[in-house]
């Protein structure tokens, strides 16, 4: 992917663009086991998994790469400190900028109010099928709260294991869920705590909603998503239309501006991009090609032709990987998603 980042007119020799997850992996590997472990303790399951995979795949890291990563880290933290601030506004602003408003909301509550959601948070570290087994026989409203609380990709996998009728019921409840009383969330957390040991309070009340339903739908397999959306349309056409408007799909990449596409491509491996484009709309392919150097675009087209037939499931997985990166970058303010997904972000 190095060549494709070079726009016409740039110097021939350009430093390799290192995706941020690889930068994080290199930085952790330079710190040593103990210090790296302490940092990983403060990361969520998805972040640990992504960084861990990047570390496992790394081979022969050059001295130049290590130097570059350390320089980037020093530049990023240089002059940025919370010393002397020490107030709630700073914490809120910092977490919102880092995680986005929705993701930061519950964490802010737990930090500033002094609460914890250990029981519910434990589910985030479990396999989707295991979580599904835990909530399978709970009331649909309890299932909806859990589904709303977890990350959208994990929730999508959990829903895929449930009966079709249950899946529809839960998703309708997720879409209509706007808030949960702290006491109710506390009781749910206590139930889970009895299974996972420990015990503390939960203060979060803002979960669920149509936006969360759309986020979850984004991560479902197309067959499951299509069937579920048809069922929602039968029950509530207006709700289905609103959910569709908030969903960001692979074809929406064509609505991202050129600078955003170039930034996104720097974070996507060439292998994933080739597979994702095998099932892409021509407008998306054209958008990608025009934001590469002429040589890089030609190489990508050659790779697409040489790749041969690819399973639909592989194409969907690759496209979801890119969508996940795009959503993460949008939440961090690095790019702006166009089309239906822009308002959602």
**Which two tokens mark 46?**
């998805």
Which stretch of DSSP H or E encloses residue 253? none
**Which two tokens mark 204?**
């979060």
- Going from N- to C-terminal start, the domains of the chain cover 3-75, 87-113, 117-246, 250-344
| Contacting residues for 129 by C-beta, under 8 A, at least 6 apart | 157, 158, 161
Q: Please, what sign has the CA dihedral across residues 249, 253, 259, 262?
A: positive
Q: What pLDDT was estimated at residue 195?
A: 63
**Which two tokens mark 72?**
């980037």
Q: What pLDDT was estimated at residue 115?
A: 46
Distance of alpha carbon 229 from alpha carbon 239, whole angstroms: 10
> How many C-beta neighbours within 10 Å does residue 187 have?
12
Q: What pLDDT was estimated at residue 2?
A: 41
- Residue 241: name the closest of 253, 249, 233 by CA: 233
Reduced to 3 states (helix: H, G, I; strand: E, B; else coil), residue 138 is coil
Distance of alpha carbon 314 from alpha carbon 336, whole angstroms: 27
Q: What pLDDT was estimated at residue 291?
A: 92
3-75: which CATH topology? Annexin V; domain 1 (1.10.220)
Q: What pLDDT was estimated at residue 113?
A: 40
CATH number of 250-344: 1.10.220.30
Q: Which regions of the chain does DSSP assign to beta strands (E)?
A: none
Residue ranges for the chain with pLDDT beneath 50: 1-13, 83-86, 112-117, 198-205, 339-345
> 17: burial class by Cβ within 10 Å (0-12, 13-18, 19+)?
middle
**Which two tokens mark 322?**
């890119």
> 92: burial class by Cβ within 10 Å (0-12, 13-18, 19+)?
middle
Is 117-246 in CATH node 1.10.220.30? yes
Q: What pLDDT was estimated at residue 271?
A: 87
Q: What pLDDT was estimated at residue 213?
A: 86
> How many C-beta neighbours within 10 Å does residue 167 have?
21
Q: How many helices (H) and strands (E) does the chain have?
A: 21, 0
| Contacting residues for 166 by C-beta, under 8 A, at least 6 apart | 140, 143
> How many C-beta neighbours within 10 Å does residue 272 have?
16
Same fold, 3-75 and 117-246: yes
């Amino acid at each position: 992917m190095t060549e494709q980042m070079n726009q016409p007119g740039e110097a021939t020799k350009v430093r390799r663009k290192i995706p941020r997850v690889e930068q994080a992996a290199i930085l952790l590997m330079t710190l040593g086991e103990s210090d790296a472990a302490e940092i990983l303790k403060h990361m969520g399951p998805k972040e640990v998994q992504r960084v861990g995979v990047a570390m496992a795949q790394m081979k022969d890291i050059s001295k130049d790469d290590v130097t570059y990563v350390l320089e980037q880290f020093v530049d990023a933290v240089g002059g940025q400190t919370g010393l002397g601030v020490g107030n709630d506004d700073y914490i809120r602003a910092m977490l919102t900028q880092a995680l986005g408003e929705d993701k930061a909301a519950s964490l802010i509550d737990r930090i500033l109010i002094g609460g914890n959601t250990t029981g519910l948070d434990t589910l985030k570290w479990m396999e989707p099928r295991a979580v599904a087994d835990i909530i399978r026989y709970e009331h649909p409203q309890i299932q909806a709260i859990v589904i709303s609380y977890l990350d959208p990709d994990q929730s999508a996998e959990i829903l895929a294991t449930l009966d079709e009728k249950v899946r529809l019921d839960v998703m309708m409840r997720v879409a209509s869920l706007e808030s949960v009383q702290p006491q109710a969330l506390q009781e749910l957390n206590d139930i889970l705590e009895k299974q996972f040991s420990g015990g503390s309070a939960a203060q979060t009340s803002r979960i669920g909603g149509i936006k969360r339903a759309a986020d979850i739908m984004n991560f479902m397999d197309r067959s499951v998503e299509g069937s579920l959306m048809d069922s929602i349309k039968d029950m509530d056409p207006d709700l289905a239309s609103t959910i569709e408007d908030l969903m960001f799909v692979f074809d929406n990449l064509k609505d991202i501006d050129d600078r955003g596409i170039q930034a996104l491509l720097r974070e996507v491996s060439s292998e994933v991009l080739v597979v994702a484009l095998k099932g892409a709309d021509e407008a998306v392919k054209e958008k990608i090609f025009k934001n590469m150097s002429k040589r890089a675009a030609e190489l990508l087209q050659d790779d697409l032709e040489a790749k041969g037939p690819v399973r639909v499931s592989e194409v969907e997985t690759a496209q979801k990987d890119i969508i996940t990166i795009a959503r993460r970058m949008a939440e961090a303010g690095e790019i702006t998603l166009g089309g239906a997904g822009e308002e959602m972000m």
